[in-house]
Amino acid sequence: MTHGISIRTAAVLGAGTMGAQIAAHLANAGVPVLLLDLTAEIAGDGLKRALGLKPDPFFTRDTASLITVGGLDRDFGGVAAADWIVEAVVEQLDVKRALFERLETTRRPQSVVSSNTSGIPIAALAEGRSEDFRRHLLGTHFFNPPRYLRLVEVIPTPETGRDVVDRITDFAVRRLGKGVVVAKDTPNFIANHIGLYGVIQTLRMLDSGDYTIEEIDAITGPALGRPKSATFRTMDIAGIDVLGHVARNLAERVPGAAARSAFTLPPLVQALIDRGWIGEKAGQGFYRRDGSDILTLDPGPMAYRPKQPARLPALEAVRSVEDVRDRLRTLFTGSDKVGAFLRQTLGPLLLYTAEVTPSIAHTIDDVDCAMKWGFGWELGPFEIWDALGIQTVLDQLQPRSIPPLVEGIRAAGGDRFRAPAADPPCTGPQLLPGARDRSRVLRTNAGASLIDLGDDVLAVAFHAKMNAIGGDTVQMLQAGLKEAAANFAAVVIGTDAQNFSVGANLMLVLLEAQEGNWDDIDLMVRTFQATTQAMRYSAVPVVVAAAGLALGGGCEIALHGDRVQAAAESYLGLVEVGVGLIPAGGGTKETVRRATLHCDPRADVLRSVQVSFETIAFAKVSTSAAHARQLGYLRDVDGVSMNRDGLIAEAKRVALEMAREGYAPPPRRLIQVGGESVTAALKLGVHLAWRGGGISEHDALIGRTLATVIGGGSLPHAAGVSEAYLLDLEREAFLKLCGEPKTLARMQHTLKTGKPLRN
């Protein structure tokens, strides 16, 4: 077997929406990229559009510096330096083949060439190319937006080298953080094929007139374990014209008249395309924003009306059911409007998926992973089959024919595709469930567990709802640090949940404040401060594996780890100001310590702490791990894992390396504070912002309180103070603000709406 070169540089041909964003994510991974379009000017415009997109395709603005733009007219020779060339031009076979013919004489031998086509057969693109070209050619179908959607469908031809597939798969998983599914070279591959079939079933229900757009989106969103954007909001985001293109492509290419009929869109979609109402990029589609109001399309008169609430009692009845499998079983078999909808949409989708899987995918796991990674489903189609039970599905649907894949399970006496104890597909090497399965749980409560990860590493695994930090979590953190000091070499703090922690249990703080239980609040804060300090000065290394949201107290835990191993998509922030408070679990202290760590004691520290003050005062949250480094939440020594699945394993590796190198706790040093001059300067900035109308009076009070802590309290001059001194100041400030009526109003509003209140 011939081993190809490593992927160190890349070229992307086509600077449209997908090409520019693929280039952006390659740059996110630290790969220099040549981005080409017809001319350098067109490529530059494509990059500028990508820089203006929301959500942002770049980890930080600086990332874009890794992209060089050029023109296919003058700069095509640059592709010779690329290890991987990604074609992302218009979806026309003749255009792509002509481009590949040019590549034939320009690319470096053994460089990988891939097409981001969503539907053109890869084999058709390989025709007429040389043996080396065909061997290194494959499809790499990224999903939009490439930074945020994990799926990449890799589509080899019979001539693609196995080592080429392995090389691109490994690179996509490790460096790009992707979930890769190797698909067969069939129309629209796996995810779009199955996803579009489901969309058309849903559109036909809208066409029936029995359901409103709002009702369908209410049914097909989180209630089914799918994204909040549900069906019609998702179509608006993706583009209704894109939907039409994919449907036409499938209808033309799938074999058999019945299959082609299944992908014929209702007239409504073409009517929207004809009017140019193609979704968010056109300002209107199934929804339209009118100022602060959202309007909904009324398909009959093709006019917009005010958005209406969906009143579906069945959805209200399962709102408190946390397990999506339990919700699905209840809803699917219900005798109400929701049950009827699911049996006429989800039911046919399950049958169709079972029918076509052998022809489009290698395994049922590949199908489930494609739908979970590409469309954000919590359960894939075969997981849904298993949640409902095969016989239940058949009893409810009474299909004319049963797919052979299903019949095979029934003939063997089974009612599921997978054994109940089987690991769910697409979860990656999660160590925490594996440790539990091996009976390595040393201790557990409602907030967290202590788990032996092996190799003398102990995990403190969070598992509360949204991993809000309460007494149970703090108790287990303290127990874990004590247990590790006695019997382990290192500690990893992490979770298998989507979010590391959304912060302290705000409801508990609010209830105590409303009752005036100041001693209880004081004890809570003291205990949390003692815990973060115990992390910082632990006898063994403590590595925090942060991913998703790490806010408030969750961010403070990360700030006090010896190391943080963060997922690339980590959103860290000290956000307490949003609820009328300041960080008091050591967060304010730690930002001052980091800001002044290398300051000359004789120098003015104002410039150093000004940035820290603004980070807290404006409740800045990082938009990526790279951005968290810029904000000071992560340090240069902290690591970043592009692939979330390997996060705990990476954190464990870092912890072991620190232990083997002979770990010793950091020395206790004084923290430099600026005294009254710094406090006065910060307060002046707050006053000017208030006078200018930029902040409210209560914002100003919080800002002055924060300035006092950061400046070092009532100290008349710059001085070195202990950590305990600053911890006392932040705790006192926290208690003072808890007594403010407007702070209590902010807490109540956030708990009720999930959004901050400006009062």
pLDDT < 70 regions, the chain: 1-5, 428-438, 601-602
d(CA 310, CA 316): 10
* CB-neighbour burial class of residue 128 (10 A; exposed 0-12, middle 13-18, buried 19+): exposed
| Beta strand 287-290 pairing with 179-182 | unpaired
pLDDT at residue 435 in the model = 62
Give me 159's structure tokens. 């001539």
pLDDT at residue 197 in the model = 95
d(CA 284, CA 295): 9
Q: Are 175 and 31 in contact (CB under 8 A)?
A: yes
Give me 2's structure tokens. 């011939």
Q: Are 702 and 737 in contact (CB under 8 A)?
A: yes
d(CA 533, CA 525): 12
d(CA 658, CA 554): 23
pLDDT at residue 2 in the model = 44
Before 55, cis peptide (omega within 30)?
yes
d(CA 18, CA 146): 8
d(CA 705, CA 728): 13
Q: State the Rg of the chain over Cα.
A: 28
Which residues lie below 8 Å from residue 545, measured CB to CB, with a gap of 6+? 492, 493, 494, 495, 500, 564, 565, 566, 647, 648, 650, 651
d(CA 76, CA 728): 63
In the numeric block, the tokens 């003291």 are attached to: 526
pLDDT at residue 501 in the model = 98
Which CA distances in Å does 624 have to 50, 69, 222, 570?
17, 24, 25, 5
Phi/psi at 160 (5° precision)? -65, 135
Digit-coded pLDDT (tens) for 188-208? 999 999 999 999 999 999 999
Q: Domains along the chain?
A: 10-182 (3.40.50.720), 191-411 (1.10.1040.50), 431-667 (3.90.226.10)
pLDDT at residue 256 in the model = 80
pTM > 0.95: yes or no = no
- Give 236-305 as a DSSP string: HHH-HHHHHHHHHHHHHHSSSHHHHHHTPPPHHHHHHHHHT--BGGGTBSSEEEETTEEEEEETTTTEEE
* CB-neighbour burial class of residue 333 (10 A; exposed 0-12, middle 13-18, buried 19+): middle
Q: Are 190 and 366 in contact (CB under 8 A)?
A: yes
Q: Are 572 and 578 in contact (CB under 8 A)?
A: no
d(CA 159, CA 131): 8
Q: Are 616 and 585 in contact (CB under 8 A)?
A: no
